[in-house]
């Protein structure tokens, strides 16, 4: 009986030691695992860095041929484009040379014909710039007032232009200001022609934003978009000055849209084409 009890006590003591030893072993195992995990991370990082240092130069070396091939491809592609551009430039240069030769021939012919016909070129036009200070647009007139100062160069009948073409003509001249009658005024009449067909007519204002072209031949070929320029008939306006374009062609009405926005004029040029004698004669009824 005593022997069994002693054996039971010994077994209990061994179990307690085994539990304590197991706890210690578990603690040591956890510590070792933690240490190994940290060590493995350091090893992995060092291995990765070492691999990067070793592999990167190899990759750069392997990429060199690819870069070279790409560079050669880009070079030949640019060379092809340069060759194409050079070909186009050669063709354009040949056309320009041909036009230059034609222009030289026409210049020589023009000089010969001028000599044969005793042609006298017109004098160079003179102009002054004036600022618009007032408008007189109403149901009965379309005109503006320009500040011309005390200049004695401004005279009645002179042509008034903007940067895009004919605006009107000088109607009255004062000491410091001048009245300009616009091409849309009902009293405005300008000899014009169609630039494409050379058909002539009269541009007549009707106090609207689009004057009419009247006195046109019945067989005239007019199309929307045709450019209208001065014809030079009657000698008041020189030929070739741009006015506007055809916007509509009806049986009894041909509407012309001026190139200039006559409602937003700020500055104009009053041009002297040397037509003083003609203008004065017309004013005197001669």
Predicted structure pTM score: 0.56
Cβ–Cβ under 8 Å, residues 256 and 244: yes
Residue where a domain terminates, one of 59, 93, 121: 121
> Closest Cα partner for 274 from 132, 121, 119?
121
Instruction: Report the DSSP beta bridge partners of residue 29.
Output: none
Whether 14 is covered by a domain: the verdict is no
Same domain, 269 and 132: yes
Same domain, 211 and 155: yes
Same domain, 133 and 261: yes
Same domain, 136 and 114: no
**Domain of residue 181, CATH code:** 2.40.10.350
Whether 145 is covered by a domain: the verdict is yes
Contacts of 24 by beta carbon, 8 Å cutoff, 6+ apart? none
**Whole domain around residue 215: which residue ranges?**
126-283
How far, in Å, CA of 1 to CA of 22, rounded? Answer: 32
Residue 19 has what pLDDT? 60
| Selection from 35-39, 61-65, 173-177 with the highest mean pLDDT | 173-177
* Host H or E run for residue 16: helix 2-117
Same domain, 117 and 131: no
At residue 272's C-alpha, the angle toward residues 131 and 193, to 5°, is 100
pLDDT in tens, 106-159: 777 777 776 766 666 666 678 899 999 998 766 678 899 999 988 788 999 899
Whether 26 is covered by a domain: the verdict is no
Whether 22 is covered by a domain: the verdict is no
244 pLDDT band, cuts 50/70/90, is very high
Whether 13 is covered by a domain: the verdict is no
Tokens, residue 96? 């320009």
Residue where a domain terminates, one of 70, 87, 121: 121
Same domain, 158 and 114: no
Work out how many domains the chain is built from and give that number: 2
Residue 172 has what pLDDT? 92
Same domain, 235 and 271: yes
Cβ–Cβ under 8 Å, residues 260 and 165: yes
253 pLDDT band, cuts 50/70/90, is confident
Same domain, 91 and 143: no
Residue 277 has pLDDT above 50, yes or no: no
Report the percent of the chain where pLDDT is more than 90.
31
| Selection from 40-49, 63-72, 180-189 with the highest mean pLDDT | 180-189
Residue 274 has what pLDDT? 75
Report the percent of the chain where pLDDT is more than 70.
65
Whether 146 is covered by a domain: the verdict is yes
How far, in Å, CA of 44 to CA of 50, rounded? Answer: 10
What 3-state DSSP class applies to 117?
helix
What 3-state DSSP class applies to 26?
helix
Residue 238 has what pLDDT? 85
Same domain, 229 and 259: yes
Residue where a domain terminates, one of 65, 95, 121: 121
Tokens, residue 224? 């929307």
Q: How far is CA 80 from the centre of its chain?
A: 30
Task: Round the CA-based radius of gyration of the chain to a whole number and report it.
Answer: 48
Residue 286 has what pLDDT? 45
6 pLDDT band, cuts 50/70/90, is low
Residue 168 has what pLDDT? 95
* Three state DSSP letters for 31-90: HHHHHHHHHHHHHHHHHHHHHHHHHHHHHHHHHHHHHHHHHHHHHHHHHHHHHHHHHHHH
Residue 91 has what pLDDT? 81
* Host H or E run for residue 172: strand 166-173
Residue 2 has pLDDT above 50, yes or no: no
What 3-state DSSP class applies to 245?
strand
């Amino acid at each position: 009986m005593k022997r069994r009890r002693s054996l039971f006590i010994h077994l209990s003591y061994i179990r307690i030691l085994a539990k304590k030893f197991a706890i210690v072993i578990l603690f040591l195992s956890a510590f070792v695992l933690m240490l190994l995990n940290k060590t493995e991370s350091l090893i992995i990082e060092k291995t990765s860095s070492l691999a990067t240092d070793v592999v990167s130069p190899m990759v750069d070396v392997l990429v060199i041929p690819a870069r070279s091939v790409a560079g050669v491809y880009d070079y030949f592609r640019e060379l092809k484009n340069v060759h194409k551009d050079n070909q186009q430039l050669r063709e354009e240069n040949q056309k320009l040379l041909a036009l230059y030769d034609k222009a030289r021939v026409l210049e020589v012919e023009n000089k010969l014909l001028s000599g044969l016909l005793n042609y006298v070129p017109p004098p160079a036009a003179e102009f002054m710039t004036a600022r618009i200070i007032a408008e007189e647009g109403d149901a009965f007139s379309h005109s503006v007032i320009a500040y011309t100062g005390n200049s004695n160069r401004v005279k009645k009948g002179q042509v008034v232009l903007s940067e895009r073409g004919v605006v009107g003509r000088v109607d009255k001249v004062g000491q410091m200001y001048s009245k300009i009658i616009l091409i849309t005024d009902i009293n405005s009449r300008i000899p014009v022609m169609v630039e494409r067909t050379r058909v002539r007519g009269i541009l007549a204002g009707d106090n609207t934003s689009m004057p009419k072209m009247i006195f046109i031949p019945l067989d005239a070929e007019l199309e929307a978009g045709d450019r209208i320029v001065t014809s030079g008939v009657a000698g008041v306006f020189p030929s070739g000055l741009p006015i506007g374009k055809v916007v509509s062609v009806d049986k009894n009405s041909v509407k012309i849209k001026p190139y200039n926005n006559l409602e937003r004029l700020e500055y104009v040029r009053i041009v002297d084409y040397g037509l003083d004698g003609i203008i004065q004669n017309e004013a005197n009824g001669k």
